[in-house]
Structure 1
Amino acid sequence: MQETRHRVLDALAAGPVSGPALAEELGISRAAVWKHVEALREDGFEVESADSGYELTGVPEFGGAAVEYGLDAPFEVEYHESIPSTNARARDLAADGADDVVVLADEQTGGRGRLDREWASPSGGIWLSVLVRPDVPMAHAPVFTLAAAVAVTRAAREAGVDAGIKWPNDVLVDDRKLVGILTEMEGEADRVSWVVVGMGINANVDPATLPTDAEPTSLQHVRGDPIDRRVFTQRVLETFDELRGDIDSILPAWREYATTLGRRVRVETPGGTVEGEAVDVQFPGSLVVDTDDGEVTVTAGDCDHLRPV
């Protein structure tokens, strides 16, 4: 959203304010004020006109402008009703030099997860990709996947859903998948050029519409009523922004919400199967497994939680 439109919106929220007064306050013409007000109405904001002036009386349920309104994080939000992939769009924006952009959609038609697996993304979910350019080496980039998992888990718990994190990139409720995270990046060995963190959040969707092999669930299903997607998205972005500014805080927060630590696991890695008790996660996101042959550090793989022997 344009900076001037942001200021118009803030003034309307504190209103009522007359067109002439708003024009004088912002240093723009009365015609420009009217155009901004009409643009806000087109975005779904309810702006009433009365003798006392303009006043904001309603905020849209979802969308880019709605999420930006009141967002305490420096992200520009690009919204799509439907898009093949928010990650693909974010990669295109990265190639154009963009930074601190969120691609948000109500529906994805070609969503993908890890290992190019299909990720169903029906209307009613929260499908978003965050494009950032952190000043870190490429080897540190996986920590932003952990930050995203923490951000979503905190937002879910604030919404009354007791979510936890399964290594490396899933957020679960009662061992059912609520969120998948896919991180992509580009850069040189010593420096990241960009990182795109994609989050597929099963928000107000029916789990029956999702792939059964993932044993999915949704925020709405667990709560018994829909969540406010605008507020939920804002909380995810605000927490992610807070964590990326304090990288040392990410691992302790991840450990707090981890469901994998202390569990017996089987991890399928490129080098073979690792089985044992998950005892820790090390920066930037490696899992430490205590096996019969000693501790093994796993940097990537598919992790299954095993039932106690």
Structure 2
Amino acid sequence: MMFKFYHFKTLDSTNTKAKELIRKNQNNLIITAEKQTKGKGRFNRKWASSFGGLYMTIVLKVDDLDKTKYLTFIAAISVTKTINKLTKLNSKVKWPNDVLIDDKKVCGILTETISGKENYALVGIGVNANQQRFPKNIANKTISLFLKTNKKFNIEKISKSIIKEFNNLYNYYNKKNYGKIIDEWKKNSHTLGREVKAKTLSGSFAGKAIDVDKDCNLVLKLKNGKLKKIVEGDIFVV
């Protein structure tokens, strides 16, 4: 797929900029920024977005908004493959939207949708690349590529690799071969096989993460042996 690129030194948020460009009838966009002043993650949480990171939003016109969850998986896999290729580190995807290195977060993904006469998916990707420190409240659970390797990385090279990997997997999305996307996610999973606690809007559930179903939902085997499908929420390894 061919994209139109926009790069900025500083933005409040690449997703916010994407919405502005969509209102001007633009699509198939990639917006990058060197810093975000109002970056956010899921549930409107603040995302630390200082200089040294990669902040990017991919804008796609979509037919079925229910299928955009696969785009989150595609983005996570693309980041994982890029990190592992460029750094030789062993990053993994954490359900539903993170990438981890040694149990610490190196990337977060936020997919937003816009519905109307035409529907859009905004896949926001934040990668901790060259940051040398993080705020105290997240420092013990966050990592950057620099902190892990003591090497500086070319941000443009990282973004180009992510886009290449994204395009490869997006071909499966276009062909509605969602099973292949799920399979790729499972190959790179940090979550499956672990005892976890899921905090959801309907309550908390503890069990072993045994599968991701065809709709990207996490399947837990609870202590009583029953299976519980987790559609949304946060996952913590216990």
State the percentage of identical aligned residues.
Answer: 29
Partners of 1:207 and 1:216 within 8 A in 2: no
Q: What is the aligned partner in structure 1 of residue 230 from structure 2?
A: 298
Contact 2:131 2:146 in 1 (8 A): yes
Q: 1:46-67: per-residue Cα shift (whole Å, max 9, x none)? A: xxxxxxxxxxxxxxxxxxxxxx
What does 1:131-150 correspond to in 2, within 5 Å?
131-135=59-63, 137-150=64-77
Shift of 1:213: 6.1
277-286 vs 167-176, greater mean Cα deviation: 277-286
Q: What amino acid sits opposite 1:287 in the alignment?
A: L
Going from structure 1 to structure 2, the CA distance change for 1:265 and 1:181 (only over 3 Å counts) comes to same
Q: Which amino acid aligns with 2:84?
A: R
- Per-residue deviation, 1:256: 0.6
Q: Which amino acid aligns with 1:154?
A: K
Identify the match of residue 157 of structure 1 among 80, 84, 99.
84
- Three-state SS of the structure 1 residue aligned to 2:62 is coil
8 A contact 1:148–1:181 mirrored in 2:
yes
Cα gap change, 1:297 to 1:214, in 2 (>3 Å): farther
Q: Is the helix fraction higher in 1 or 2?
A: 1
**Which sections of structure 2, spanning at least 5 residues, go unmatched?**
none
Whole-angstrom distance in 2 between the partners of 1:173 and 1:252: 20
User: Which residue of structure 2 aligns with residue 218 of structure 1?
Assistant: 144
* Equivalent pairs, count: 231
Q: Deviations over 1:171-230 (max 9, x none)?
A: 000011100111100226xx9700001011101111335742671100111122011211
Structure 1 residues 107-118: aligned runs within 5 Å: 107-118=35-46
Deviates more, 1:202-211 or 1:262-271: 202-211
Alignment TM-score, normalising by the size of structure 2: 0.92
Q: Distance in 2 between matches of 1:214 and 1:186?
A: 35
Indicate which of 207, 210, 216 corresponds to 2:133: 207
Corresponding residue of 1:167: 95
- CA distance in structure 1 between the partners assigned to 2:143 and 2:45 by the alignment: 18
TM-score normalised by the chain length of structure 1: 0.71
Cα deviation digits, residues 84-118 of structure 1 (max 9, x gap)? 10011111222222111011000111111111111
Aligned to 1:90: 18
Are 1:244 and 2:170 an aligned pair? yes
Q: Give the alignment of 1:171-182 within 5 angstroms.
A: 171-182=99-110
Q: Which has the larger radius of gyration?
A: 1
| DSSP-derived class of the 1:236 partner | helix
CA distance in 2, matches of 1:111, 1:186: 18
> What code does the residue aligned with 1:143 have?
Y
Tell me, in whole angstroms, the C-alpha distance in 1 between the residues paired with 2:68 and 2:97. 14
Aligned to 1:289: 220
**What's the CA shift for 1:243?**
1.1
Q: Which has the higher contact order (CA 8 A, sep 6+)?
A: 2
Given the superposition, is the C-alpha separation of residues 217 and 153 from structure 1 closer, same or farther in structure 2, using an over 3 Å criterion? same
